[in-house]
Structure 1
Amino acid sequence: MIRPLLPAFIALLAALPAQAQVMADPDVVAAFLQDYGLKPQPGTDDQGDPMLSSSVDDTKFDVYFYGCTKARDCSSVAFSAAFLTPEPLKYAVLNSWNQKARFGRAYVDGDGNAVIEYDVNLDKDGVGGKNFTDTIDIWRSLLDDFRTHINW
């Protein structure tokens, strides 16, 4: 009885839509950013690893790729934006942000700029497409909230 049902079961499985997995591949991440309505520009960082540059709501940001082997097969990405403020932000302002923000972290870099970053693990099987679109939503929200927090 099981044997006649096996072909029907296999056909049913084949008909199910495959969930797109987002890996730490610059082309895949760029495609998701484009689908979101952003305009990513490919490049490389100081270590020769891939990176993407884009902007959201007039705020420039970069997506850095980490854990790469020969500038390929990366394991994670970090969204990053720097804010050139007239004076370095007080640590209390950044500490307040870091205490309240669930995602992302903020700090002052060596040049005195305020920086916000958001790390995303895409190793092994990656994440589903809907999850990564939500990741972009979270990044956009983080930028908006951070701009408000620092009175940008």
Structure 2
Amino acid sequence: MGKPGLTTMAAAMLMLACAAAPASAQQAAGAATGAGASAEAVFPDTAYLKASEPEGIARYLRYLGYRAILEKDPNGDPVIETGMGGFKVMLWFYDCTDGRDCQRLQLQLGVAMEKKLDLETVNAWNRRKRFQTLHLDEENDPILSHDMSTVAPGMPAAQFRDVVELFEGQVAELRRIIVAHDSDG
């Protein structure tokens, strides 16, 4: 399920939802210009990330070692492109007002496949997983997603990091399923 207004293929190929750092973390990040500045001082685990502050989320993803390209989706809402396991992952921003003041995020990975996954494989995935969901788009390509709420006061940075790391692990597992599926004859 991609953002409204995107074509199925564009939505399937885009992926990674993101959260933003609070104003205090953004100010600290802006002040930390010296090479000796501690990342923990910039992004303590107790900092709160908010979808309403997409620049802070992009900065935190970079701090975690991910690529984070902040853009606008076709509806004018923020979206961050990143990568995990060799795939492009998108971080979509939801419940925004005029492209700002977003409340929720969704990490998303879509994979275009020539040999399609079957519904039985997708349902087996969803029975085993608690946090991420897998579904098939209109072209029967798999879409992996994880939703997050960042309403006041926001999501603690440690929790956001845990979600991103968990999602990356699931991306690796999905890759194994896809490779095995493609090698079946």
- Indicate the TM-score class for this superposition, using the shorter chain for normalisation: 0.7 to 0.9
Structure 1 consecutive aligned stretches of length 4 or more whose deviation exceeds 4 Å: none
**RMSD value over aligned CA atoms?**
1.7
Q: Residue 121 of structure 2 is aligned with which of 81, 93, 109?
A: 93
User: Which has the bigger relative contact order, CA under 8 A and spacing at least 6?
Assistant: 2
The 3-state SS of whatever aligns with 1:86 is coil
More strand by share: 1
- Kindly indicate whether the alpha-carbon contact (under 8 Å) linking 2:104 and 2:151 is maintained by their aligned counterparts in 1: yes
- Kindly indicate whether the alpha-carbon contact (under 8 Å) linking 2:45 and 2:158 is maintained by their aligned counterparts in 1: no
The 3-state SS of whatever aligns with 2:179 is coil
The 3-state SS of whatever aligns with 1:150 is helix
Instruction: Note the residue ranges of structure 1 that are not aligned, 5 or more in a row.
Output: 1-16
- TM-score where L is the length of structure 2: 0.69
Change (3 A) 1:135 1:18: closer
Change (3 A) 1:86 1:123: same
Q: Return the alpha-carbon distance in structure 2 between the equivalents of residues 18 and 151 of structure 1.
A: 36
Q: Residue 61 of structure 2 is aligned with which of 24, 33, 39?
A: 33
Q: In the alignment, residue 170 of structure 2 is paired with which amino acid? A: L
Q: How many residues align?
A: 136
Map 1:3-152 onto structure 2 (within 5 A): 19-24=46-51, 25-151=53-179
Instruction: Note the residue ranges of structure 2 that are not aligned, 5 or more in a row.
Output: 1-43, 181-185
Select the structure of larger CA radius of gyration. 1
Q: Return the alpha-carbon distance in structure 1 between the equivalents of residues 81 and 46 of structure 2.
A: 27
The 3-state SS of whatever aligns with 2:102 is coil
- TM-score where L is the length of structure 1: 0.83
- Kindly indicate whether the alpha-carbon contact (under 8 Å) linking 2:45 and 2:156 is maintained by their aligned counterparts in 1: no
- Kindly indicate whether the alpha-carbon contact (under 8 Å) linking 1:104 and 1:118 is maintained by their aligned counterparts in 2: yes
